Amino acid sequence: MSASLRVPTAPDRAVPLPAPHVSPGAATALLDAYRPGSDRFLASARHTLLGTGTSAEVPDDSRPLGVRVREVLETRRRAGDPAPIVMGALPFAPDAPPSLAVPRSVRRAPALCDDPLIAIPGPSAEPGTWQTREVPEPGAYAAAVSSAVRRMRAGEFDKVVLARTLELTSSRDLDLAAMLRRLAQHDPKGYTFAVPTGPDRTLIGASPELLVARRASRLTANPLAGSAPRSNDLAEDVRRAAALLESPKDLHEHAVVVDAVRESLAPFCVSLDVPAHPTLVRTAAMWHLSTTVTGTLADPGVSSLDLAASLHPTPAVCGTPTDVARAVIAESEPFDRGAYTGMVGWQDADGDGEWVVTIRCAEAEGRSLRLFAGAGVVAASSPEAETAETGAKFRTFLSAVGAAL
Whose CA is closest to 174, among 340, 403, 404?
Answer: 403
**Among 57, 134, 156, 159, the one annotated catalytic:** 159
pLDDT over threshold 90, residue 23: no
Would you say the C-alpha torsion 88, 188, 277, 238 has a positive or negative sign?
Answer: negative
**Band of residue 396 on the pLDDT scale cut at 50, 70, 90:** confident
The per-residue pLDDT for 405 is 63
> Is 393 marked active-site?
no
The per-residue pLDDT for 122 is 75
Q: Which string of b and e fits 78-116 if b means at least 16 CB within 10 Å?
A: eeebeebbbbbbbbbbeeeebbbbbbeebeebbbbbbbe
Mean pLDDT, residues 320-336 taken together: 96
Average pLDDT, the chain: 90
Q: Which string of b and e fits 274-302 if b means at least 16 CB within 10 Å?
A: beebbbbbbbebbbbbbbbbbbebeeeeb
The per-residue pLDDT for 1 is 37
pLDDT over threshold 50, residue 6: no
What global pTM score does this model have? 0.90
Instruction: Report the share of the chain in percent with pLDDT over 90.
Output: 79
Mean pLDDT, residues 69-89 taken together: 95
**Among 134, 189, 209, 253, the one annotated catalytic:** 209
**Is residue 226 within 8 Å of 376, Cβ to Cβ?**
yes
The per-residue pLDDT for 186 is 86
The per-residue pLDDT for 20 is 45
The per-residue pLDDT for 16 is 41
Mean pLDDT, residues 249-256 taken together: 91
> Is 134 marked active-site?
no
Cis peptide before 248 (omega within 30 of 0): no
122-126, 283-287, 295-299, range with the lowest pLDDT: 122-126
